[in-house]
Structure 1
Amino acid sequence: MKQLWQRLLGRDPVPDAVAEQLAADEAVVATATVTGGGTLVVTSWGVWPPDGSERIGWHQIGKATWDRASLVVTPTVAEEIAPGTELLADVVPRRFRLAEPGTVPEAVQERVNQSIRTRNRRELPGGGAWVLQRKVPGRDGLVVQVRPDAGTDVAAARLLAEGIAQRLPGSP
């Protein structure tokens, strides 16, 4: 009965596995049924995959694309260079085929963009890197992230991140 009312009010139910893990001030923004089963949940803090295993925070998404059938989210892993400065590396993209996408693609794109406060491009050997200042959900302040392009010299990207960290207020 509860699910029927949620649908009548325009809200899809949130899977129990996700609902139990939501932070106190984390709000559900949109949901979509994934082809093959499960629900993709978009919150104010990130994207919960259909298995409900772990949220991918907005600051952890390097790229999100929509091709009218699938939402592809490219998560990143962060290496802390210094407090408040990270070197990112993309991991395997997650593809979610959405039966009825509703507002999910727009919500994801909007929130990934909103997490970025500033962005600058730096050319490096083998390619380049984006230097981003991002808001981390549930935390005060910003984190500086260096996200090198595929093929970019990682050592050069690390040196860039270290140089940025040294120029930040409060660094030794």
Structure 2
Amino acid sequence: MTGLWARLFGRDPVPDHVAENLEPSEAVVATATVSGGGTLVVTSWGVWPPSGARIGWHEIGKATWDGTSLAVTPTVAEQIAPGIELLTDVRPHRFRPADPRTLPQAVQDRVTQSIRTRNRRELPGGGAWVLQRKVPGRDGLVVQVRPDPGTDPAAVRRLAEGIADRLPGGGTD
């Protein structure tokens, strides 16, 4: 998008590395120049950090806005069985948009919209969220188990494996 068109639509230009890698059905929703340089791009499929690849909505454990900075916490997924993932949070990415406009709300809305169902399970040492999430560009849902920090890892694994065993064709072999 040229600078003129970007300004008419109220967003910063989309960097070439993002524009060249967008999926055909992926739409740009919001952009913002961030401190330290670069542009944060929000699409219908995920968040594109200024220097990096897309983080899909289903790969974000949480996103928070404190009025000046956006923190996006990605997750790493371990496949327990087909369609069942055990998530681990990794270090949050922090962005300070110069002019956030609609960016924080766009991120919050899309993280929330990726979740179709959520259930809380109390476990030794904490608990875990069991989520059914939509993965952009794919049919169906993935079940994700996201434990709280400090929750007994063995209890979390038993929970995820138990869910896999109850699904049709389930089982962790």
TM class, shorter-chain normalised?
A: over 0.9
4+ residue segments displaced more than 4 Å: none
Question: Percent of counterpart pairs with the same letter?
Answer: 79
Over the aligned positions, Cα root-mean-square deviation in angstroms equals: 1.2
Which residue in 2 is equivalent to 1:108? 107
- TM normalised by structure 1 equals 0.96
Counterpart residue identity of residue 8, structure 1: L
Gaps of 5+ in 2: none
Distance 1:140 1:80 in 2: 18
Which residue in 2 is equivalent to 1:3? 3
Distance 2:49 2:5 in 1: 24
Q: For residues 29-70 of structure 1, give each alpha carbon's deviation from its aligned partner in whole angstroms, at most 9, with x where no partner exists.
A: 00011012100000000000011x211100010010001110
Q: For residues 63-100 of structure 1, give each alpha carbon's deviation from its aligned partner in whole angstroms, at most 9, with x where no partner exists.
A: 10001110000000000000000000000011001110
Which residue in 2 is equivalent to 1:15? 15
Report SS of the residue matched to 1:134.
Answer: strand
Which residue in 2 is equivalent to 1:130? 129
Gaps of 5+ in 1: none
Report how far residue 117 of structure 1 moved: 0.4
- TM normalised by structure 2 equals 0.95
Which residue in 2 is equivalent to 1:38? 38
Counterpart residue identity of residue 135, structure 1: K
Distance 2:5 2:46 in 1: 25
Distance 1:37 1:125 in 2: 43
